Amino acid sequence: MQHLAIINSTPGMSASQPLRELISNCALSASEARILLAHILQKHYQLPRSALLSRDDMSLNEQAFLEWESLVSRRVLGEPIAYILGKKSFHNIELQVGPGVLIPRPETELLVEIVLTEIAKLDKHSRILDLGTGSGAIALSIASAAPLASLIATDQSAEALAIAKQNTQTLNLLDQVHFLQGSWYAALTEQDTFDVIVSNQPYIAHQDPHLTQGDLRFEPASALTDYGSGLGCLEIIIAEADQYLKPGGLIAIEHGFDQSEAVMGLMKVAGLVDVQAYLDLAGLHRVASGRKRL
Ligand SMILES: C[S@@+](CC[C@H](N)C(=O)[O-])C[C@H]1O[C@@H](n2cnc3c(N)ncnc32)[C@H](O)[C@@H]1O
């Protein structure tokens, strides 16, 4: 099956071809072909991405060519580039990712910016809770940009936490970020309060057709959907936030582009004040925040 896929997806390529022809004959778009070929050049020849231009007449050795064919085939079959490369850039850091975690999305950087703005207004030693941390994207980018903040990051998935801990070690942030396993606030070992609660939790409804399309087919369903209306996880996190926030503390939550009104309504019902909506770079309502009363 894998072999057949390789034959079908790379019909115009041979090991003797120079890099520029591998790109132009590839079944993928030129930009995706360049990303994968840059990875091969780095791994097999320790060459930078610029070698795609400066050495475009070079051809790959047998081993590198076979790996190139395999990467192209995986992408042709739909596997996300981030899983193929095993990494993804997010905010100011690079994260290791794999099939056990959601691939961090650029729109989630909005949540990080909101939390960093809040931290800048607070006493320097702020305490932050990241619920459903996945690869650690939100917690680790906050920790990296705000060295005096301390963070607790939780997830239900042991596989996600293993990847998040690996990323924490690689980024040398073990002193700042601590991980706990369990469902939302139940993961906390003691009654604790925070300056900020932040979360990008599953918010896709279980019947949404996007779950069976594109990159989402390869990501863990438990990271994407609440297996219900899409609002189930948001309801729990918002309803219990008051108990875990310091007076005046902020909760900021990512949601679907059509869930803004519902999420802001949940915040008001939970007694939170100063409820606000934020637009992402695509101009879609993507985050809501509220505060515990002083
Ligand atoms: C949308 S992903 C977000 C991952 C990461 N925060 C990010 O933005 O890239 C949601 C995460 O919530 C976790 N999760 C799902 N249900 C959970 C629960 N009941 N308690 C804690 N975490 C949960 C999933 O394992 C997944 O890692």
| Strand residues in 28-144 grouped as ranges (E) | 87-90, 93-96, 127-131
Write the residue with the smallest CA distance to atom 4 of ligand 1: 134
Q: What is the model's pLDDT at position 16?
A: 85
State pLDDT tens for residues 14-58. 778 999 999 999 999 999 999 999 999 999 999 999 999 999 999
Q: What is the model's pLDDT at position 9?
A: 57
The pair of structure tokens assigned to 129 is: 């809770």
Separation CA 101–CA 120 (nearest Å):
30
Hey, which of 90, 91, 96, 133 would you mutate to test ligand 1's pocket, going by the most ligand atoms within 8 Å of its Cβ? 133
Question: What does each of the 294 residues of the chain score in pLDDT, given as a tens digit?
Answer: 344 444 455 666 777 899 999 999 999 999 999 999 999 999 999 999 999 999 999 999 999 999 999 999 999 999 999 999 999 999 999 999 999 899 999 999 999 999 999 999 997 789 999 999 999 999 999 999 999 999 999 999 999 999 999 999 999 999 999 999 999 999 997 789 999 999 999 999 999 999 999 999 999 999 999 999 999 999 999 999 999 999 999 999 999 999 999 999 999 999 999 999 999 989 999 999 999 999
Q: What is the model's pLDDT at position 10?
A: 63
Read off the pTM: 0.93
Cα–ligand 1 centroid distance for 99 (angstroms): 14
Q: What is the model's pLDDT at position 228?
A: 96
Whether residue 153 contacts residue 187, with contact meaning beta carbons closer than 8 Å, is answered with no
Separation CA 125–CA 180 (nearest Å):
20
Q: What is the model's pLDDT at position 183?
A: 97
Q: What is the model's pLDDT at position 15?
A: 76
Task: For residue 29, count other CB atoms closer than 10 A to its CB.
Answer: 11
Strand, helix or coil at 183? coil
What residues line ligand 1, using a CB cutoff of 6 Å? Answer: 102, 104, 108, 132-135, 137-138, 154-157, 160, 183-184, 200-202, 222-223
The pair of structure tokens assigned to 252 is: 């900021």
Quote helix, strand, coil % in the chain, to nearest 5: 45, 20, 35
